[in-house]
């Protein structure tokens, strides 16, 4: 292998820059060239490709977002798009590719690998929803951002003895909601994995907590479970407790990555280069049982992960 390409794809995540930096510098230290591909598979198809030197990634490890930009690309879901992607790689001399993103991005990487481009996936998503790995780049920063924001909402909520519904990211994965549920001491957590949304149960819970002297009631709602603002109106009408909704939104994606995200991203980026340098392809980097490791992309994509019932049960037990 002589030249490694790197791209970020799907939703951005804090720590992606640390991963890009690691890919660039690990490659250079092994005597390989590196090319950055802008805007995910879109930039690949449009040949938005630049040479990257060690200096080009200076001062990026602490920056949120991705210096390579990211995008979703419907054309790359077609066989013609994938064929063209492989041709562009060949044209630019890219014989190894690191794809930083989520499951969708890995499905794209798998297609390129089948077309003869050595490809490795690095898990970058704030959702922690990639089954083969215990850690995904961006989760720690995002969950800490959400936790700090919820602390602030809680201060004002307690002062006014309100109920607060706080919507966090995670349309299909409730890890941010569950972790914040414990870290912020939420009274209720609504997760997509445990979709048994029962508004009457929530209402009864708010009323019984009031009777037990609780001054606030925090409901953490993973994005996509109902409509927080109208939920708040209905709950207020049913309980008589002033209820407000706060949607944290995209703030959870931004910001300087935490130490944990920088370290995991750096290790995983370097590991991806090591795999390519060893002639490997069609693999996803993961972190499992205390070690950095790698999985076949097919196997990784076929794995399923569910939120911990025990963690959920404890979160409820601690909110009495």
Task: State the residues that interact with ligand ATP by CB under 6 A.
Answer: 9-11, 41, 72-73, 76-77, 101-105, 107-108, 111, 125, 127
Separation of alpha carbons 87 and 124, rounded Å: 26
Q: Output 86 or 186, the one with its CB closest to ligand ATP.
A: 86
Closest by CA to 8, choosing from 265, 315, 201, is 265
Query: Of 127 and 188, which has the nearer Cβ to ligand ATP?
Result: 127
Residues 90, 259: Cα–Cα separation, whole Å: 36
Catalytic annotation on 294? no
CB of 223 to ligand ATP, least distance (A): 12
| DSSP category for residue 313 | H
**Considering beta carbons, is residue 107 or 277 the nearer one to ligand ATP?**
107
What is the SS3 assignment for 119? strand
**What is the closest distance, in whole angstroms, from the C-beta atom of residue 201 to ligand ATP in the complex?**
30
Rg (CA), the chain: 22
Instruction: Tell me, rounded to whole angstroms, the distance of Cα 55 from its chain centroid.
Output: 27
Q: Where is the binding site for ADP, in residues?
A: 21-25, 154, 185-187, 212, 214-216
Distance in Å, CB of 108 to ligand ATP, minimum: 3
The contacts of residue 117 (CB under 8 Å, 6+ apart) are 85, 86, 89, 90, 94, 95, 96, 97, 281
Q: Which residues are documented as binding site for ATP?
A: 11, 72-73, 102-105
- 317: which 2 tokens? 């037990």
Minimum separation from the CB atom of position 196 to ligand ATP (A): 25
Look-up: residue for tokens 């001399």? 93
Give the residue nearest to ligand ATP (CB). Answer: 104
Q: Which is nearer to ligand ATP, 67 or 203 (CB)?
A: 67
Residue of 12, 127, 129, 282 with catalytic role: 127
Residue with tokens 């991963």: 19
The total number of residues written for the chain in this structure:
320
| Catalytic sites, residue numbers | 127
């Amino acid at each position: 292998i002589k030249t490694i390409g790197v791209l970020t794809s799907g939703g951005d995540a804090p720590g992606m820059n640390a991963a890009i930096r690691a890919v660039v510098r690990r490659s250079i230290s092994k005597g390989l060239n590196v090319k950055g591909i802008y805007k995910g598979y879109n930039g690949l198809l449009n040949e938005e490709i630049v040479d990257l030197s060690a200096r080009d990634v200076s001062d990026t490890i602490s920056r949120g977002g991705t210096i390579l930009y990211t995008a979703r690309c419907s054309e790359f879901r077609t066989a013609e798009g994938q064929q063209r992607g492989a041709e562009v790689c060949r044209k630019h001399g890219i014989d190894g590719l690191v794809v930083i993103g989520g499951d969708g991005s890995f499905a794209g990487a798998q297609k390129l690998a089948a077309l003869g481009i050595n490809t490795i996936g690095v898990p970058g998503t704030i959702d922690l929803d990639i089954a083969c790995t215990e850690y995904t780049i961006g989760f720690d920063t995002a969950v800490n951002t959400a936790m700090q924001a919820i602390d602030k909402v809680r201060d004002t909520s307690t002062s006014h003895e309100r109920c607060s519904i706080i919507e966090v990211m995670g349309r299909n994965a409730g890890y941010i909601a569950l972790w914040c549920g414990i870290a912020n001491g939420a009274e209720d957590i609504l997760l997509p994995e445990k979709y048994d949304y029962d508004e009457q149960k929530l209402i009864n819970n708010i009323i019984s907590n009031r009777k037990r002297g609780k001054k606030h009631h925090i409901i953490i709602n993973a994005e996509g479970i109902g409509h927080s603002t109208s939920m708040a109106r209905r709950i207020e009408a049913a309980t008589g407790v002033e209820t407000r909704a706060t949607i944290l939104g995209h703030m959870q994606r931004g910001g300087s990555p935490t130490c944990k995200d920088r370290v995991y991203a750096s290790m995983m980026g370097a590991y991806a280069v090591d795999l390519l340098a060893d002639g490997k392809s069609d693999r996803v980097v993961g972190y499992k049982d205390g070690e950095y490791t790698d999985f076949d992309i097919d196997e990784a994509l076929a794995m399923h992960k569910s939120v911990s019932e025990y963690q959920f049960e404890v979160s409820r037990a601690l909110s009495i």
